[in-house]
Amino acid sequence: MYTPYVPRQIYVTADAANYPHTRAVLERLPSLEPITIPDITSLSRYDSTQSFVLARQKGGFFKPCPCTQKYVCCGYKILNLVNNCELNCSYCVLQGYLNNPHIIAYVNLEDLFDELDTLFETYPNRLFRIGTGELADSLSTDHLTGFSSALVAYFADKSNAIIELKTKTSQIDNFIGIEHRGRTVVSWSMNTPRLIASDESMATTLNERLAAAKKCADAGFRIGFHFDPMIHYDGWQDEYKSVVDRIFQTIPAERIIWISLGALRYPPHLDAIIREQHPQSKIVYGELITGLDGKMRYFKSVRAEMFRKMHAWIREYSTNVFVYLCMESAEMYQDVFGWDSRTTISLSRRMNELIL
C-alpha cells in the first residue's frame, strides 16, 4: 500500500541552509531536528538508513538521458533534481547505481531555472522534452519538496520546452491547480495489478494511478503512460490488455500524448541484487539474454511479441496516440511498427512535433 515517504532523519548541507526550498521543506517536517553536514560526501558517516538530505546541486541540473548504446534514442533530456527513491521497485536500477541509501533533494531551484533560461535562449529553435524521473520518481517526495509546482509554473510560459513529471504515485495536489498552458505532461508508469503487487508494492495501485491521471486530464494536463518495464509471465496478455482497456476507459484518448513500451532490462550486476533483496519477485526467471548494450533483456522474439500485441491493443482504441519503444533497436521498430530506419532515426523529431 502506498504511503508517502516520511523521513526519520533530515540532513542539510551547509551550503543549502539558506535556500527558500530548504526552509519550506523544514517547515513541512516540524518534528524533525535537521542535522547540518559539511557536504553530501560526509553522509555515510552519519547513518545507513534512508534519510532525506537537502543539498545544493553544484554541477549542472540538466543532462541528456543516458540512452543505452546501440539502441534508438528518443532525444529526451533529464533534470537531476532528486536522487534516489523510497518506492523500492524490484527492478529499479538505482539499487545498483547510487552509492548511498539517502534521498537527496537539490534545493537551489533558482540555479536550475537560470541554467534552463540560458539553454532555451541559446537554442531558441530547438525543442526540449525534459523529465525529472530518471534518478527518482518525479513526485514521490513532492509532499516534502513542493518542486512540482515550481516546475509547472516555470515551464508554463516556455515556447520550446515541456517538462514531463513521471511517477508511480498519486501526488498531484501541489501542482494540479497551477496554470500550465500545456507545457507539463504528467505520466504514469503502468503495470498489471499482479506486477504492481509483487514488484512495485510500495507504489500506488493501478486504480490509484488511473484516478490521479484522470484528475490531471480533467485539469487539462496531457497525460503519458509508460509500460516500462513490461514483464513476460504466464497470462501477461490478458492482464496487460486489461490495463490498456482501463486506460482508455478512464482517460480520453485525445488527452494522451504518448505511450511508451519498454521490456524489462537491467545491468547484469542487478540480477544478484534482485534475487537477494526481492526474493518474492519472479522477474529474474524470464528468458533474459545479454543485449547489444550488455544489459539483460528478454530474447528478441519475446519482446517483439509483447510490443506488437500492446501496439495492436492500443490501436483498437486510438489510431492517433503516439506509441514508441524505449531502448530498442531500429530492427525492433521495423518489426513492431513497420517503420523504416529513416523514420526511426527521426523518432526524436516526431516526438518533438507532438509538443509544438
Partner 1 sequence: MMLKTNTVNIKLSEVDLSDRTYILTFEPMMSQMVQSIREIGLVNPPILAQISSEPRYRVISGLKRILGLIHLKKEMFPARIVQEQPDKPSIEYFLINFYENLSTRALNDVEKSIILNKLITKFNVDKETILQHYVPLLGLGKNPRVLDMYLPIVRLEDNIKIAIVEDILSHELALHMIELSGDDRQSLFHLFVTLKLGKNRQKEFMRLLTDIAKSTERSLRDVVDQPALMAVVNDEKITSTQKVERVRDLLRKMRYPRLAEAELYFEEVKKELKLPPRIVLKHSPFFESDIYSLELLFRDPHEFQKMVTKVNDISRTGAMDKLKKVGK
Residue placing its CB nearer to ligand SF4 in the complex, 77 or 311: 77
Distance from C-alpha of 189 to C-alpha of 82, rounded to nearest angstrom: 18
92 binds, among ligand SF4, partner 1, none (CB under 5 to 8 A by kind): ligand SF4
Distance from C-alpha of 337 to C-alpha of 219, rounded to nearest angstrom: 32
Residue 136 binds ligand SF4, judged by CB under 6 A:
yes
Residue placing its CB nearer to ligand SF4 in the complex, 136 or 212: 136
Answer yes or no: are the C-beta atoms of 44 and 38 closer than 8 Å: no
Residue 299 binds partner 1, judged by CB under 8 A:
yes
Return phi, psi of residue 55, to 5°.
-140, 170
User: Could you tell me which residues come within 8 angstroms of residue 235 by beta carbon, excluding any fewer than 6 positions away?
Assistant: 194
**Candidate ranges 82-90, 104-112, 177-185, 272-280; the one touching ligand SF4 (CB under 6 A):** 82-90
User: Could you tell me which residues come within 8 angstroms of residue 349 by beta carbon, excluding any fewer than 6 positions away?
Assistant: none
Three-class DSSP category at 57: coil
284 binds, among ligand SF4, partner 1, none (CB under 5 to 8 A by kind): partner 1
Distance from C-alpha of 231 to C-alpha of 151, rounded to nearest angstrom: 32
Residue 282 binds partner 1, judged by CB under 8 A:
yes
Residue 287 binds partner 1, judged by CB under 8 A:
yes
Q: How many other C-beta atoms can be found within 10 angstroms of the C-beta atom of residue 184?
A: 23
| Options 285, 319, 320, 342; binder of partner 1; rule CB under 8 A | 285
Paired residues of 223 in beta bridges? 186, 256
Type of residue numbered 302: V
Answer yes or no: are the C-beta atoms of 79 and 136 closer than 8 Å: no
| Options 54, 89, 247, 274; binder of ligand SF4; rule CB under 6 A | 89
* Site mask for partner 1 (CB under 8 A), range 309-338, x = bound: --------------------x-x-------
Residue 144 binds ligand SF4, judged by CB under 6 A:
no
Asked if residue 268 has a cis previous peptide bond (ω within 30° of 0), the answer is no
The torsion of the CA quartet 260, 266, 271, 273, rounded to 10 degrees, works out to -90
**Candidate ranges 11-19, 36-44, 84-92, 308-316; the one touching ligand SF4 (CB under 6 A):** 84-92
DSSP calls for 276-291: HH-TT--GGGS-EEE-
| Options 85, 130, 162, 243; binder of ligand SF4; rule CB under 6 A | 85
* Site mask for partner 1 (CB under 8 A), range 236-275, x = bound: ----------------------------------------
Distance from C-alpha of 241 to C-alpha of 161, rounded to nearest angstrom: 33
Residue placing its CB nearer to ligand SF4 in the complex, 32 or 93: 93
C-alpha cell at 325: 519503444
* Site mask for ligand SF4 (CB under 6 A), range 217-236, x = bound: --------------------
Residue 48 binds partner 1, judged by CB under 8 A:
no
Residue 274 binds ligand SF4, judged by CB under 6 A:
no
285 binds, among partner 1, ligand SF4, none (CB under 5 to 8 A by kind): partner 1
Distance from C-alpha of 181 to C-alpha of 321, rounded to nearest angstrom: 20
Residue placing its CB nearer to partner 1 in the complex, 118 or 341: 341
| Options 37, 53, 79, 87; binder of ligand SF4; rule CB under 6 A | 87
54 burial (CB, 10 Å; 0-12 / 13-18 / 19+) is: buried
Site residues (CB under 6 A) for ligand SF4? 85, 87-89, 92, 94, 136-137, 168
Site residues (CB under 8 A) for partner 1? 282, 284-287, 289-292, 299-302, 304, 329, 331
